[in-house]
Structure 1
Amino acid sequence: MGWLNAWSMLLSAAVSFLFLACLFRPLEMAFPAKASQRFFRPDWWTDLCFFLGQYLLWSGLVLWVLGYVNLWIDSLVPGGFRSAIGAQPVWLQAVEAVLLSDVLIYWAHRWQHSNAFLWRFHSVHHTAEHLDWLAAHREHPLDSIYTIGLINLPAVILGFSLNAIAALVVFRGIWAIYIHSNVRLPLGPLRMLIGAPELHHWHHAKDRRAGNYANVSPLMDIVFGTYTCPDHEPEEFGVEEPSPTSYLGHLVVPLLPKQRKPQPPEEPANDPSAIR
């Protein structure tokens, strides 16, 4: 039975890959943000490893951890309150979940960029020097637990129905891939309400504090002064500090203790009495 499960997982990953490629590749060809970027661009194979790792290895770990967290939250939240929330229409629950999680993930994401410990894992996502739908999967599994857990936390606490949570997970997954895609749509001022790939592209500029921390709607960035969107694409994506070049390196290096930078030797005090 083990080989049947493995085959099923491989088939599911292959179908997902083909579905996403058929969905986003035509958009990238019709509305390219960077027209010179090729399909098989540098690090394409590394990002394919991240894709396969997510589907074949780490998604199960993430769901296992979140399952235990959900059980713990279930014991803390009053059942009557959650029942009232769950009685609402599914569409209304989904809207509420998106709005609440957008507020939470804005501050959580902003903290990832300012906190040294969180940044060592989140920086893996930012090492991508070329953005497209496949690069969206470049993510350390511990960073995935942090992000996915917080995005779904409001829905879990409020007791939204499983259908609403499932719709939220699917929607945010597709949205995350869309905003990383090599696409620039002519949305105009509308992008200030619903977001757009060019906003997240500027978030991936080399400046670690470039802004655009919001997820679906950029309203939080506008309110707190972190919204930015010039009329051109960033010249470079990536991070300032050195980073691994292999898939395994990206997984292991954030787990290693950070080496302290050597301090320059102290210069002897200019004390004439010490000269003999």
Structure 2
Amino acid sequence: MDSEYDYKPRTVSKNVDKEFRLGEGRISGFCSLFLGILSLLAVIAYLYPSMLTTTELRKIYDAEQLQQVLKYGMYTSIVLGILTFLLNKGAYKYLGISGILFTAVALLLGGYRIPVGPVEPAALSLGIDWLILAFLGSIFIFLSLEKLFPKYRNQLIMRPEWDVDLFYFSFNHLAISAILVFANYHVSHFDWAVSASFQENIRSIPTIVQFVVIVISADLVLYWEHRAYHEFTVLWPIHAVHHSIENIDWLAGSRGHFVQVFSERAMVMIPLYLLGVDQAALNIYVTFAALQAVLIHCNLGISFGPLKYILVTPQFHHWHHSSEKPAIDTNYSAHTVLFDRLFKTYHFPKQHWPASYGTTQRLPRTVIGQTLYPLKVWLKRLKTKHTA
């Protein structure tokens, strides 16, 4: 029984060599570098908007106003790059140099003065605008929360494999257009189930109630999809990539095999398509789901009070990522705890947090190794079956 399990506290050792400390030039160097890279990406996106921005997102933001943000981001990158030189005489100068160089290239290509006009929509594009806005927003919201209210104070921003998860973060956002095309193609096979009268009834109820209906419906689909990835042997190697994370934070939730990324988005589109809710309710849900997906992976020690008995919170979802025996194959829900309670997969010892994360059998630690991991497992099983 879980009550007999010996829960132990998690020990996180601080790697002082990778710690950010004021006055050393490392903070300014990395900030200059990232702002320089983002500035260059933004400029390229302004030059080729049909190919490198997302049609849906362009409807929301003002491209000309964002050019002002770009201008100050470029100036900040240059100032921070110079500051790196002033603060440091050695190790981090290359960060400042790189940040300034990226920004200089961005300025040479037109910088924040590129004319903005009508954009011809493209069926497929790279979501550079989505990547930039999501990255800056996540840094501002979630990284700030982790620094203010950390669960594990010794866990650093550049914890082990942060670069691997940054790649997944970038891929998931750049591929948003392809993901939406695949999802829309997938749901088109459910035209036979659409009921105009049912959808009209749904749209007649208040927006907030529509939102609640979406959350519960989407959560039911995501619960069973998630559970299938755990309990069907053929699917587990795909989902194991997500569970290979051994240090949980805001960036960790991005790690996932591309097969799961595409299938998950396609599956959750089905209830949204069949419900036919108002655009306002849909926008609220999309915002809620995007924020919660990052939040529940955060290194965040906030208890969330009574909300933890209703919604999926960091502590609840951290247990899903635990490699400890009582927590394995539990807490599948994405939005609420309803279906885990209903289907007896709820595990939430509220006075404890996991002592260890990851899979019981360690996966490769590189993106390529993780991408090929399911194929290697399936081939090994097929070989074993034929030689048995």
Tell me which interval the TM-score lies in, with the shorter structure as reference length: 0.7 to 0.9
Question: Counterparts of 2:259 and 2:177 in 1: how far apart (Å)?
Answer: 12
Counterpart among 363, 369, 372 of residue 249 in structure 1 = 369
Question: Counterparts of 1:173 and 1:93 in 2: how far apart (Å)?
Answer: 18
Q: CA RMSD in A?
A: 2.5
Question: Counterparts of 2:250 and 2:336 in 1: how far apart (Å)?
Answer: 19
% identity of equivalent residues: 30
**Structure 2 length-normalised TM:** 0.62
Where does the alignment leave 5 or more consecutive residues of structure 2 unmatched? 1-43, 54-126
Contact 2:244 2:362 in 1 (8 A): no
- 30-39 or 83-92, which deviates more: 83-92
Question: Counterparts of 1:187 and 1:13 in 2: how far apart (Å)?
Answer: 29
Q: Which 4+ stretches in 1 moved above 6 angstroms?
A: none
Question: Counterparts of 1:81 and 1:189 in 2: how far apart (Å)?
Answer: 34
Question: Counterparts of 2:151 and 2:219 in 1: how far apart (Å)?
Answer: 25
Which residue of structure 2 lines up, in the alignment, with residue 68 of structure 1? 185
| Equivalent residues, number | 264
1:14 aligns with 2:58: no
Which residue of structure 1 lines up, in the alignment, with residue 155 of structure 2? 37
* Cα distance change of structure 1 residues 258 and 184 upon mapping to structure 2, 3 Å threshold: farther
Question: Counterparts of 1:76 and 1:220 in 2: how far apart (Å)?
Answer: 24
**Structure 1 length-normalised TM:** 0.86
Question: Counterparts of 2:204 and 2:316 in 1: how far apart (Å)?
Answer: 36
* Cα distance change of structure 1 residues 66 and 21 upon mapping to structure 2, 3 Å threshold: same
Q: How does 1:64-213 map to 2 (within 5 A)?
A: 64-207=181-324, 209-213=328-332
Contact 1:152 1:165 in 2 (8 A): no
Contact 1:136 1:180 in 2 (8 A): yes
Displacement of 1:26: 1.9
Question: Counterparts of 1:166 and 1:250 in 2: how far apart (Å)?
Answer: 33
1:27 aligns with 2:148: no
Displacement of 1:7: 5.7
- 180-189 or 131-140, which deviates more: 180-189
Displacement of 1:165: 2.5
1:45-65 Cα offsets, whole Å, 9 max, x none, are 0000001111113x2222111
Displacement of 1:232: 2.6
Displacement of 1:115: 0.7
